[in-house]
Amino acid sequence: MTDMFERFANLSDKLDELEHLLADPARMSDMDGFRRLAQEHAQVARMHQLYTDYRQAEADLLANRELLQGESDAEMQELVRAEIEQLTAHLTELEQEMRLALLPRDPNDEKNTLLEIRAGTGGDEAALFVGDLYKMYCRYAESKGWRVEVMSSNPLGIGGGFKEIIALISGDKVYSRLKYESGAHRVQRVPETEAQGRIHTSAVTVAVMPEAEDVEVNIAPNDLRYDIFRSSGSGGQSVNTTDSAVRITHLPTGLVVQCQDERSQHKNKAKGLKVLRSRLLALMEQQQHDTISAERKSQVGSGDRSERIRTYNFPQGRVTDHRINLTIYRLDSIMLGKLDDLIVPLISYYQSEALKNSGE
């Protein structure tokens, strides 16, 4: 506990240093560096404010305890006791926030996100649910003021479904909110084509990856093979009459990315490279993760795509997140993008687990 408060007490000098650096006009010549500096300043300023609030609440609590000892009026004593109770609870909350603020930050939390949704078991019904999940995430993104751009898609051709769709979601702290969505999502419902009214179970996989910057993933030109072909839609219908679709193969890893949504070969290539970089960054981080601790598979949030994380049961109107045993009977609301009902409890759970593992 003492060590934690010492770390917060020393933030004042750090905050002054960062404010001095931000005020230097020369810093504006490097916008990426300036942005990182501003993010660090915001984090340190928040931690400094937490410490200031804690010390103020602590002083207020001490003053009220002294007031209680010298107060003889019963009604006033009751009011002071209520104030002491509120301040004690507030101090506990602030202390928890301070502990969380000291946890190692995920460097990807501030990044934009590549969202990949693929049909798994269940045939056309799984593909239809890919479309439903994509709409769900789009609505959630809209509620957060984020921007969604389709990078690649393989439409089913009926009902708005997709065999696969990849989208870039850009905005404030996108990855920090969506990173726990990776895994297998199961759906239980009666397909429109089911005449007997039988419930079918299908599954899709969701992968959430931070957008990779060029400096993070260095791809040698000789490591790439480009295949150019004509875009085509469902039923063999041509999307356009030029050879604009691009397939990019990263030879060292065998990763393959295909983009055909744009009419321009150049745009498809640029989108494909963006997706490839993010996949390579995710692969590198996973390899590092496995090297550091093979035992982390037992922890929630491993990001294993084969792990069934959630079930959407339409007949009963419920959605269950299996990692934290959370069941919500508001499936309609969830599908309309009200995902914070699931995401906020997940974030709280992971933070609690991180605190346990930190030894605080």
List the structure tokens of 113: 């996100």
Residue 9, both tokens = 């007490």
Amino acid 82 reads A
Q: Are both 147 and 170 inside the same structural domain?
A: yes
CA distance 53 to 93: 11
Domain C-terminal end among 102, 123, 141 = 102
Of residues 116, 119, 178, 103, the one with CA closest to residue 146: 178
Given a contact cutoff of 8 angstroms between Cβ atoms, the answer to whether 169 and 115 are in contact is: yes
Alpha-carbon distance of 4 to 7, in angstroms, equals 5
Q: Could you tell me the maximum CA-CA distance found in the chain, to the nearest angstrom?
A: 91
Indicate the SS3 state at residue 71: coil
- Angle subtended by helix axes 31-70 and 2-9, to nearest 10: 120
Q: Is residue 8 part of a domain?
A: yes
Residue predicted with more confidence, 354 or 56? 56
Tokens of 49: 């404010």
Question: 38 and 75: one domain?
Answer: yes
Cβ proximity of 129 and 195 under 8 Å: no
Q: Name the average pLDDT for the chain.
A: 82
Residue 290 has pLDDT above 70, yes or no: no
Looking at the fold, whether 56 and 188 belong to one and the same domain comes out as no
The CA distances from residue 351 to 17, 101, 346, in Å, are 29, 10, 9
For residue 311, being part of any structural domain is answered with yes
Q: Is residue 258 part of a domain?
A: yes
- Count of C-beta atoms within a 10 Å radius of residue 283: 15
| CATH number (domain holding residue 182) | 3.30.70.1660
Sequence-distant (6+) residues with CB within 8 A of 153 are 162, 164, 165, 166, 261
**What integer pLDDT is reported at residue 48 of this predicted model?**
87
Domain extent, residue 279, equals 113-291+304-354
DSSP state, residue 235: G
What pLDDT score was predicted for residue 195?
60
Looking at the structure, do residues 269 and 128 belong to the same domain, yes or no?
yes
Q: Percentage of the chain surpassing pLDDT 70?
A: 87
| Cα distances (Å, whole numbers) of residue 293 to 285, 286, 299, 349 | 12, 11, 11, 20
Assess if residue 298 is contained within a domain: no
- Number of compact structural domains in the chain: 2
Q: What percent of the chain is modeled with pLDDT above 90? A: 31
Residue holding tokens 């002083």? 59
pLDDT at 299 over 70: no
Clarify whether residues 249 and 343 are in a common domain: yes
Tens-digit pLDDT profile for residues 336-360: 999 999 999 998 888 888 877 765 4
* pLDDT, tens digit (0-9, with 9 covering 90-100), for 222-236: 888 888 887 665 444
Q: What does the pLDDT look like over 320-331, one tens digit per residue? A: 999 999 999 999
pLDDT in tens, 94-130: 888 887 777 777 778 888 899 999 999 888 889 999 9
Which residue matches tokens 């593992």? 357
Residue 316 and residue 278 in one domain: yes
98 within domain boundaries: yes
Q: How far apart are CA 143 and CA 169, in angstroms?
A: 13
Question: Residues 70, 205: one domain?
Answer: no
pLDDT for position 294: 46
- Residue 212 burial by CB count (10 A; 0-12/13-18/19+): exposed, middle or buried? buried
Select from 102, 123, 149 the last residue of a domain.
102
**Which of 67, 102, 137 corresponds to the end of one domain?**
102
